[in-house]
Structure 1
Amino acid sequence: MKNLTSFEYPDQLQKELRKAKKLEWITLVYLISVVVLMYLVMGSSQAMKTAWLEDALSTLPAISFLIAYRFYNKKPNKDFPYGYHRIYGIAFLTGSLALFLMGSYLLIDSSMALIKAEKPSIGSIFILGHQVWMGWMMIGVLLYSSLPAMWLGYRKLPLAKKLHNKILFTDAQAQKADWTTGFAAILGILGVGLGFWWADALAAVIISFSVLKDGFSNLKDAVLELMDRHPVTLEDKTKDDLVNEVAQLVNTWDWVEKAGVRFREHGMVYFGEIYIIPHQSKKTDFEKARNQLKNYHWKIHEVTLMEVREIPDYLVTAPNGGSRRNN
């Protein structure tokens, strides 16, 4: 039997993990530069203020990932006998809560600006003797805040799926869709330039609503995971087929009459139990079975097998005849 040790990704995924870490460092440095530039040019524009706060919040997933990266594979101890895998779940929860609360504040703030009919003023500056409308500089900074972010999002997304990492996945999705924030803010600024004062506040409302929606969705997902929900896929949130595959596999063992399976997520890996009604005429081999399960897929980090007289109806069961998955 393998001892409970610190979790390490398989060799084929270690390279992907290092790529993800590098991309998050690049993201953090890039976003800091975006936040500084947006602060310098935002003026009294509500849309720019909202976009600036959103970009500042966008640093949280990268920071959370890099912090969790240092602790997730620490060995279990007497204080934390299950290890530190859930540190990614905690980071995901705190980041989602911050996003939800800030989205709520931004929506209220931008809505009040629209209701009060606050008219933003976008001035001009002189550069090399030429008068330049600040709106053009704002648009330039917004493009800088959107286009590289989209590239980073597309680079992170396949890594997040392979690593089954929720922080990386939500970060990638947000950055992949970052053009919507920039586009809304650009329309708001152009609207002000054309004399439509309300365009700026309306753009801010659209941006803040997007932040609030993402925050609520992520917060809900984080809470459900901490409640030991059935493991789900990252992209469409459907139940992970791996659990069914394990149930099918267990039922192919000749000494098993019937079995039920349940797993829960601990960060990137699964912990679970398998309830088995063995054949009375067959010799059980729990040691071999446990090792086979842990070698079946890298997500299965720890599994407990127990002999029972009946299978609870909330467990995943399968008829005889299983499928095999390559690691």
Structure 2
Amino acid sequence: MNSSLPDELRGVMREAIRLEYWNLFWTATIIVAMGLVLGQSQTMKTAWVEDTLGVVPPIMFLIAAKMELKGRRSKKFPFGFERVNGLGFFVAAVALTAVGLLLLYNAVVALTAAEHASVGSIVLFGKDVWLGWLMIAAQLYSLVPPMLIGRKELPLAEKLNDKLLHTDALMNKANWLTGAAGLAGIIGLGLGWWWADSVAAAIISLDVISDGIKALRSATAELVDGSPRALSSPRLSEDAQELEDRLLEEFPSATIRLRETGRLIRAEVHGVHPPAEHRHPRQYWPKEKSRAWRLAQVSFIPPVGD
């Protein structure tokens, strides 16, 4: 195949694509449910913005996946679209961080101004119903689909070594924090604690900022040809560290440089001549061979003057 995606990942990728379409569908129902009962609550508005923001990673993943599956190498794109997943990861990270900072600013302003939000009542089936009950129901509903989808996304993200999908999975699985903070804010308003709403909104925004900054550090490292990073943090990848050890074991006088292009690793071995026998890059992979697809290239750069 002439696409950027290794052949053995194509079935897993299609499974992930189907899951992300379901993710978008259920997220849309949550956005509608939350939007119908926002009221004046800063907590609900912040949670609603976070849920709306939740569509960014799956949309970016679907765009990147289509380009990886269908895109072809060409004169203009000789490496195909290996980095398109990393670009999508960067866009999602920027969006997460920026919106998190905006939400935190709004919460701090509300606290400083001592805004006293209130939760009123609505007429439902001919009876007055406290809107807070509907808010609580919407918050509880917003927890269930993300937790289930996040649990299914994690193993697919690990098989694909997909940081974008992995970040989305962690956000979904950790959605209980948003729900817990939101519920506390609404109940606090019901008890007359005016500050509870803004404090809960600030907690949610801090969670968004934390996710965004971690993703931004990892995405930036890839785009500037940094060493491969772990799926869930900016730490160096275990795969990369073991690959470097493996290459140094065979070429002890060499300098090893590794970089990540999307889900693939490219290695440069500086200061030595290539071995006499030709070997496919995957033969240098140090771990289980089922993940050898990660090593796309091993280049040898002889000493200057040789």
1:212 is displaced (CA, Å) by: 1.6
1:249 is displaced (CA, Å) by: 4.8
1:161 is displaced (CA, Å) by: 1.3
Please give the per-residue CA displacement for 1:37-75, whole angstroms capped at 9, x wherever unaligned: 211110110000000001010100000000111112422
The aligned residue for residue 63 of structure 1 is: 59
Counterpart of 1:42, as a letter, is L
Say which of 70, 78, 82 aligns to 1:85.
82
Say which of 15, 27, 30 aligns to 1:31.
27
| Greater C-alpha radius of gyration | 1
1:244 is displaced (CA, Å) by: 4.7
The aligned residue for residue 120 of structure 1 is: 117
Kept in 1, the 8 Å contact 2:215–2:233? The answer is no
Is 1:156 matched with 2:153? yes
Please give the per-residue CA displacement for 1:213-252, whole angstroms capped at 9, x wherever unaligned: 2212211221122111111221354433434544555567
Cα distance change of structure 1 residues 137 and 89 upon mapping to structure 2, 3 Å threshold: same
Cα distance change of structure 1 residues 79 and 10 upon mapping to structure 2, 3 Å threshold: closer
In structure 2, what is the Cα distance between the partners aligned to 1:182 and 1:251? Answer: 48
In structure 2, what is the Cα distance between the partners aligned to 1:41 and 1:146? Answer: 16
Please list every run of 5 or more consecutive structure 1 residues that lacks an aligned counterpart in the other structure: 311-327
Q: How does 1:1-327 map to 2 (within 5 A)?
A: 5-11=2-8, 13-73=9-69, 74-247=71-244, 249-250=246-247, 258-275=253-270, 277-278=272-273, 284-285=276-277, 287-288=278-279, 290=281, 292-293=283-284, 297-308=292-303
In structure 2, what is the Cα distance between the partners aligned to 1:248 and 1:186? Answer: 49
In structure 1, what is the Cα distance between the partners aligned to 2:142 and 2:174? Answer: 12
| Partner secondary structure for residue 137 of structure 2 | helix
Please give the per-residue CA displacement for 1:167-218, whole angstroms capped at 9, x wherever unaligned: 0010000110001101101111011111111111111111112112221221
Kept in 2, the 8 Å contact 1:47–1:203? The answer is yes
1:98 is displaced (CA, Å) by: 1.1
Please give the per-residue CA displacement for 1:125-171, whole angstroms capped at 9, x wherever unaligned: 22223321110111111111112211111111121112110100100
Count of matched residue pairs: 300
| Partner secondary structure for residue 122 of structure 1 | coil
Identity %: 38
**Considering only aligned residues, what root-mean-square deviation do their CA atoms show, in Å?**
2.5
Cα distance change of structure 1 residues 277 and 24 upon mapping to structure 2, 3 Å threshold: same
Kept in 2, the 8 Å contact 1:290–1:305? The answer is no
Please list every run of 5 or more consecutive structure 2 residues that lacks an aligned counterpart in the other structure: none
1:276 is displaced (CA, Å) by: 5.5
| Partner secondary structure for residue 96 of structure 1 | helix
| Partner secondary structure for residue 74 of structure 2 | coil
In structure 1, what is the Cα distance between the partners aligned to 2:143 and 2:253? Answer: 54
Cα distance change of structure 1 residues 42 and 252 upon mapping to structure 2, 3 Å threshold: closer
Kept in 2, the 8 Å contact 1:247–1:259? The answer is no
